[in-house]
Structure 1
Amino acid sequence: MKPLLDTWQFWALLSAGFAALTAIFAKIGVGPIDSDLATFLRTLVVLALLAVILTLTGGWRSPGAIPPRAALFLVLSGFATGASWLCYFRALKLGDAARVAPIDKLSVVLVAVFGVVFLGETLTLPNWLGVGLIAAGAVLVAWRV
């Protein structure tokens, strides 16, 4: 049996917990300032934290050691992340965190669809049912009656 720290499930649950804290902390922090400035400040903290982690773990590598295809897709991922964060912080500035976050998590649904269409991944009927339930749940949580 694998140690807990070596499982994707452990790290995914931690990610979900930190993402939830991100929404709460960001909603409080973005209130009195421009959402783009809030995103910038958050990004600086992420950069500093990653620099510390890479230094402590010896993870720094020469940019030339990164295969060009990998670099291209990581750059594209960076652009997508930046756009996502800008939109997320703007949404938090304008809406309730408890309703913004579930709509943001429709990304789970999109990842499932994109994984099938672009990466050739396969999902079974129960998997698709789960995807549908996630979509329905996000809409119901965000619905204002």
Structure 2
Amino acid sequence: MLVRDAMSTLVLTVRSTDTLRLAARLMSRHRVGAVVALGTDEDGGERVLGILTERDVLDAVGSGLDPGAEPASAHTTTEVVCAAPAWPLERAAEAMTRGGFRHLIVLDGHRPVGIVSLRDILRCWAPSGRHHADLGG
């Protein structure tokens, strides 16, 4: 199975000047754990700056920062590993395990086309139709 088979094609984005509150509102409304942060490249076009996760928002709020005033860019992880749609899911899971993160931005060239999460991968690998009790738990 490939990343394209597991990824969510809903790619929510925030600009570097948007607030943490806006990012949190988007994630909550769409029930996702991450948004792609966009910035401007030297030609004036958009480029991926990184990823902002629910954990980043929680850490900021837990530190006493005001989510309505705090810019998303100050909490965006910019050193990210991105996946390609044609990666095998094993490669994506390996990258997540090695990097210690739960989301990968999926790029087609330089354009974000999806996000794959650990939950997406588990959903693909879990036996369908089986309940926790059936798995010996």
TM-score range, shorter chain: under 0.3
Greater helix content: 1
TM-score scaled by length of structure 2? 0.28
Q: Which of the two has higher C-alpha Rg?
A: 1
TM-score scaled by length of structure 1? 0.27
Greater strand content: 2
